[in-house]
Amino acid sequence: ARAGAALAPGYEAIGSQTLSQYAAQYAVNPKLKGKGKAKGKAKGKTVKVKITCAKAADSCKKAKVVLKAKGKKVASGKNIKTAPGKTKTVKLKMTGKGRKLFKKSGSKKQKKKLKAKVLVNGSKSGNITVKRTGKIK
């Protein structure tokens, strides 16, 4: 974009990238914290989960996190940003179908735990056990 600046002969077909384009190309997806034994907490209309980004990553993509159980979307959140090497606790908004899964049919008692799959930006990131820690609205 500078006047008089050009790529060396033979490199015109490749083009050039800005720093932000280069970083986006090599950014990694964040992952669920504690694979295999990950835990989440459900209370009210939200589910709290921990998301982490690899320490070796240059940058991490903004994430869309979805929890699915029994073929239904339980909770989701988007535009979640985590720094490399850091862990972040995020609140995901629970769906109506997700809240119903915590209730037992024909009884006023609610289920205490729910096993769910976690999808980060559309790819599977592990399983999680969501524990009810308060009243589900």
Residue 45 has pLDDT above 90, yes or no: yes
Taking CA atoms, 49 is separated from 13, 33, 66, 88, 123, in Å, by: 45, 8, 11, 8, 17
Higher pLDDT, 124 or 21: 124
Q: What is the mean pLDDT of the chain?
A: 83
Confirm if 93 and 80 have CB atoms less than 8 A apart.
Answer: no
pLDDT, tens digit (0-9, with 9 covering 90-100), for 7-43: 777 766 666 677 777 777 777 888 888 766 788 999 9
Taking CA atoms, 121 is separated from 4, 19, 29, in Å, by: 41, 23, 7
Confirm if 120 and 51 have CB atoms less than 8 A apart.
Answer: yes
pLDDT, tens digit (0-9, with 9 covering 90-100), for 72-100: 999 999 999 999 899 999 999 999 999 88
**H-run or E-run covering 82:** none
Alpha-carbon gap, residue 90 to 7, rounded angstroms: 44
Confidence at residue 75, expressed as pLDDT on a 0 to 100 scale: 95
Pairing of strands 123-136, 38-44: parallel
